[in-house]
Amino acid sequence: MALETARLAEPLSIPEDRTQKATTKPAIQISHLDKIFLTVRNERVHALSDISLSVAEREFVTIVGPSGCGKSTLLKIMAGLLPLTSGDLRVVGAPVSRPRRDIGVVFQSPVLLPWRTVLENVLLPAEVQGLPQATSLARARDLLKMVGLADFENKYPGELSGGMQQRAAISRGLVCDPAILLMDEPFGALDAMTREQMNLDLQRIWRESGKTIILITHSIPEAVFLGDRVVVMTPRPGRIARIVDVPLPRPRTLETLGDATFGRLSSDIRRLLYSLGDAEPASEGGGLG
Amino acid sequence: MTVEAHSAPVFREDTPRPVTGLRLLLRTRPELVLAPTLLVVLLLVWQYGVIWLDVPAYILPPPSDVAVALWRGLDAGIFSRGGYWLHTGVTLSEVLLGFVIGSTAGLVLGTIISQVRIIEATFSVYLIAIQSLPKIALAPIIVLWFGFGLTSKVVIICLLTFFPLLVNSMAGFRAVEPERIELMRAIGANGWQMFWKVRLPSAMPYIFAGLDMAAVFAVVGAVVGEFVGAQRGLGVLILSMNASMDTAGTFSVFIILSLIGVLLHGVLKIISRRVLFWSGTGQNTHSTGT
């Protein structure tokens, strides 16, 4: 514990304003966040180090990084599922200590309950939070229509393909109408074509619903295609290496994938990620990349 | 059915023609044909084997004798002490009472223990150790404590059915996928909602596997309890028939005992198909998966 306090007492100089969008107030505000795990063998693992990030309302931010860089940990901390070790995290101005109702989470795997129909699965969060049944039922049906599963509401998850299951999970994440949606590699298990289709769908859902979305991925094209900004993270301990603005116009289409700017941004990020992987391991205490 | 000569063998199929009758049955539900056929063959071998080899009937009676004994036992009056109905009724009520009480207790206790990690950590080693003890060895003491009547059998069966449910429900609650728990936390579920909406349904396949085991143990417990000390029941009937060298009678009682087992298993299977329709192993709850 002494170590943690020591870290907190000695803040690094971070250019604070580079993440700030002056026009809207931030949906999520993270400053100097550190996360240290204690493993079962009682060893300390420094998972996240000095993360500062501000996400504006209605913004779509994507996070890329090598596996094990702590990006899932960061998302779980934002979701209130894990405590942070030091630093500060605010959602719409308030500190987070437990899961919030205005945050929806979509996990890596769909995690649908196999004994519930698709509709019942989508309704689960509304049921748990005790929202009025009629309203949430109508909303769940709307969401299923939006993700193209209107005809499948009475099917069981086992009867659905992976892509359909993940779309049901996205509907479930949105059923309580959260202002913020956190997504942890939601399309990682899908084949390339389904994945592109899901990216297009997600962009449409985001534009129609006006949510703030933070999406974690290890696909660079996916990060660039979806994000207003791409946060690039370093390997463990996870730091923010760079935040890349994506000035591509919306709505982005499959043609965007062939756009010169898209290609340049993707290869820039790729080069950055590779250089981090090579350069980093020797100097642990060094500054930001 | 082409008769053309090919230089190389060609793997081909004619347009599939719908099959009918016995061939259809063999294709769709082979067990409906094959299992009864096997039974008939075995019975024939047994019947004529015993006659040809001149095996004495008190060692191994031919199945026809067993059938006659079974008929005689069932034909007797419902309350006749020599007939099967009375004894079957006694044994069946012991089995059902013991099974319901014992497995419910095991399930409830297993569930409670599983919900609190400290309690589970404290008890689980001992409970699993007790699980592996041959509890049937306690039957004489239990008859001594609870007498020759119904109670002692029910207690023995409770003891036997309690542990499969206890151990299996604990295993089931431990095996709940952590992703499901995390999902429930993320949507703000409280402990109660977590239990009813995720933990209990997730543990159900294990619980049904435990019930299946307990059903077998229940019949074993009833018979052993009756062997040790009872006035009525199929176990008593077996003992008295054995004493009078009525081997055909013993076999016929054995058939009734199997039927009780099959009945319990069947009822459990019907229930588990409804409850575990989602589990993929619903057909056979303790199958090791796909």
B244-267, pLDDT tens digit by residue? 999 999 999 999 999 999 999 999
Q: What is the mean pLDDT of residues B68-76?
A: 88
Based on the fold, state whether residues A98 and A137 are members of the same structural domain.
no
The predicted pLDDT at position B181 comes to 94
Based on the fold, state whether residues A122 and A148 are members of the same structural domain.
yes
Q: What is the mean pLDDT of residues A78-103?
A: 88
Of A81, A100, A113, the CB nearest to B180: A113
Give just the sign of the alpha carbon dihedral A222, A227, A232, A235: negative
Beta strands in chain B (DSSP E): none
Based on the fold, state whether residues A90 and A166 are members of the same structural domain.
no
Q: Which residues contact B33 (CB under 8 A, 6 or more apart)?
A: B22, B25, B26
Of B179, B189, B278, the CB nearest to A115: B278
Based on the fold, state whether residues A168 and A124 are members of the same structural domain.
yes
Which H, E and C letters describe B164-189, residue by residue? Answer: HHHHHHHHHHHCCCHHHHHHHHHCCC
The predicted pLDDT at position A284 comes to 37
Confidence check: pLDDT of B194 > 90: yes
The answer to whether position A2 is within a domain reads no
The answer to whether position A5 is within a domain reads no
Based on the fold, state whether residues A76 and A56 are members of the same structural domain.
yes
| Percentage with pLDDT > 70 across chain A | 87
Angle between helices B200-228 and B247-275 (to 10 degrees): 170
The total of structural domains in chain A comes to: 2
Chain mean position to CA B88? 17
The answer to whether position A153 is within a domain reads yes
pTM for the full model? Answer: 0.80
Based on the fold, state whether residues A184 and A255 are members of the same structural domain.
yes
CA distance B215 to chain A (A): 25
Q: Let me know the angle formed at the C-alpha of A17 by A15 and A21, rounded to the nearest 5 degrees.
A: 150
Tokens 């039957």, located at residue: B139
**Across the interface, do A128 and B182 touch by the CB < 8 Å criterion?**
no
C-alpha–C-alpha distance, residues B140 and B152, integer Å: 9
Q: Which two tokens stand for residue A122?
A: 């989508």
Domain range holding A134? 106-177
Q: What is the mean pLDDT of residues A20-34?
A: 74
B12 or A119: which leads in pLDDT:
A119
The predicted pLDDT at position B124 comes to 83
Confidence check: pLDDT of A200 > 60: yes
Based on the fold, state whether residues A169 and A232 are members of the same structural domain.
no
Q: What is the mean pLDDT of residues A226-255?
A: 89
| Percentage with pLDDT > 70 across chain B | 93
- Indicate the DSSP class of residue A12: -
**Across the interface, do A124 and B279 touch by the CB < 8 Å criterion?**
no
Confidence check: pLDDT of A20 > 70: no
Of A109, A115, A128, the CB nearest to B189: A128
Q: Final residue of a domain: which of A126, A153, A177?
A: A177
The closest of A266, A243, A269 to A21, measured between CA atoms, is A243
Of B179, B201, B277, the CB nearest to A107: B179
Mutate to test the interface with B, among A72, A112, A113 (most CBs of B within 10 A): A113
Based on the fold, state whether residues A226 and A134 are members of the same structural domain.
no
The answer to whether position A54 is within a domain reads yes
The rounded mean pLDDT for chain B is 88
Confidence check: pLDDT of A2 > 60: no
Q: Which two tokens stand for residue B86?
A: 């009375």
pLDDT in tens, B2-51: 555 556 667 777 777 777 778 888 888 888 888 899 999 999 999 999 99
Cβ-based contacts of A99 with chain B (< 8 Å): 185-188
Confidence check: pLDDT of A74 > 70: yes
Based on the fold, state whether residues A184 and A97 are members of the same structural domain.
yes
Confidence check: pLDDT of A21 > 80: no
| B75 touching A (Cβ < 8 Å) | no
**Across the interface, do A105 and B180 touch by the CB < 8 Å criterion?**
no
For B172-186, give one letter per residue: b (16+ CB within 10 A) or e.
bbeebeeebbbbbbb
Residues 160-199 of B with CB under 8 A from A: 177, 179-180, 182-189, 193, 197-198
Give just the sign of the alpha carbon dihedral B106, B107, B112, B116: positive
**Across the interface, do A124 and B197 touch by the CB < 8 Å criterion?**
yes
**Across the interface, do B278 and A129 touch by the CB < 8 Å criterion?**
no
Of A81, A101, A156, the CB nearest to B182: A81
Tokens 């209107």, located at residue: A150
Using CB atoms within 10 A of its CB, is residue B98 exposed (0-12), middle (13-18) or buried (19+)? buried
Based on the fold, state whether residues A246 and A216 are members of the same structural domain.
yes
C-alpha–C-alpha distance, residues B171 and B165, integer Å: 10
CA distance B3 to chain A (A): 45
Q: Which domains does chain B have, with CATH numbers?
A: 92-275 (1.10.3720.10)
A252: CATH? 3.40.50.300
Work out the number of other CB atoms within 10 angstroms of the CB of residue A9.
Answer: 8
The answer to whether position A234 is within a domain reads yes
Confidence check: pLDDT of B138 > 50: yes
Q: What is the mean pLDDT of residues B102-120?
A: 92
Q: Final residue of a domain: which of A128, A153, A177?
A: A177
Based on the fold, state whether residues A237 and A261 are members of the same structural domain.
yes
B288 or A57: which leads in pLDDT:
A57
Based on the fold, state whether residues A277 and A151 are members of the same structural domain.
no
